[in-house]
């Protein structure tokens, strides 16, 4: 019975409250990336902070990895599009290690590949997987074949296929 009475009391108080008193709360972003920086990206799939303070932005549609400074004032490209080693094409997954290095899974010519990069975006290592027989299908957040997600610890790579 108390519940109904309190519900009725709340409803009654709303009916008799002046409209000026019912102003909505406005949420303001805190440490948000401003539009002039965020507008550079096409399909952000990861936004991870490096130990040095800057942030990595994994832009899957642009086939690139960007860095954004600590104050979110500027962004610069650190890994470019391409099928050759040290570049990425058709990326599906991204992970940052605790030491600032990062790994990207991509698929040049349909062959799954993982590359590890230093914090400046220079390739340190990489390998391909013998999984060329199946068609690689990725749509939005879903990967049906290929590397769906990775976790890079700095010394190990965990792969979800």
Q: How far apart are CA 146 and CA 110, in angstroms?
A: 9
The lowest-confidence range among 52-66, 71-85, 87-101, 122-136 is 122-136
Listed residue (157, 56, 146) closest to 108, CA to CA: 146
The pLDDT score that the predictor gives to residue 146 is 65
Q: How far apart are CA 80 and CA 105, in angstroms?
A: 14
For the segment 30-44, what is each residue's pLDDT rounded down to a tens digit? 778 899 999 999 999
Q: What percent of the chain has pLDDT over 90?
A: 58
Q: How far apart are CA 20 and CA 26, in angstroms?
A: 15
For the segment 111-131, what is each residue's pLDDT rounded down to a tens digit? 899 999 999 999 999 999 886
Between residues 78 and 130, the one the model is more confident about? 78
């Amino acid at each position: 019975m108390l519940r109904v009475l309190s519900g009725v009391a709340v409803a009654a108080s709303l009916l008799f409250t002046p409209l000026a008193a019912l102003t909505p709360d406005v949420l303001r972003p805190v440490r948000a990336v401003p539009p002039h920086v965020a507008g550079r990206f096409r399909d952000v799939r990861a936004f991870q902070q490096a130990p040095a303070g800057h942030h990595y932005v994994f832009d899957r549609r642009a086939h690139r990895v960007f860095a954004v400074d600590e104050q979110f004032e500027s962004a610069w490209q650190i890994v470019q599009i391409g099928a050759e080693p040290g570049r990425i094409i058709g990326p599906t997954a991204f992970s940052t290690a605790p030491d600032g290095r990062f790994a990207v899974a991509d698929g040049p010519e349909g062959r799954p590949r993982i590359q590890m990069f230093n914090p400046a975006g220079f390739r340190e290592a990489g390998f391909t997987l013998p999984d060329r027989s199946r068609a690689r299908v990725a749509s939005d957040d879903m990967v049906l074949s290929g590397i769906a997600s990775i976790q890079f610890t700095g010394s190990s790579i965990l792969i979800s296929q």
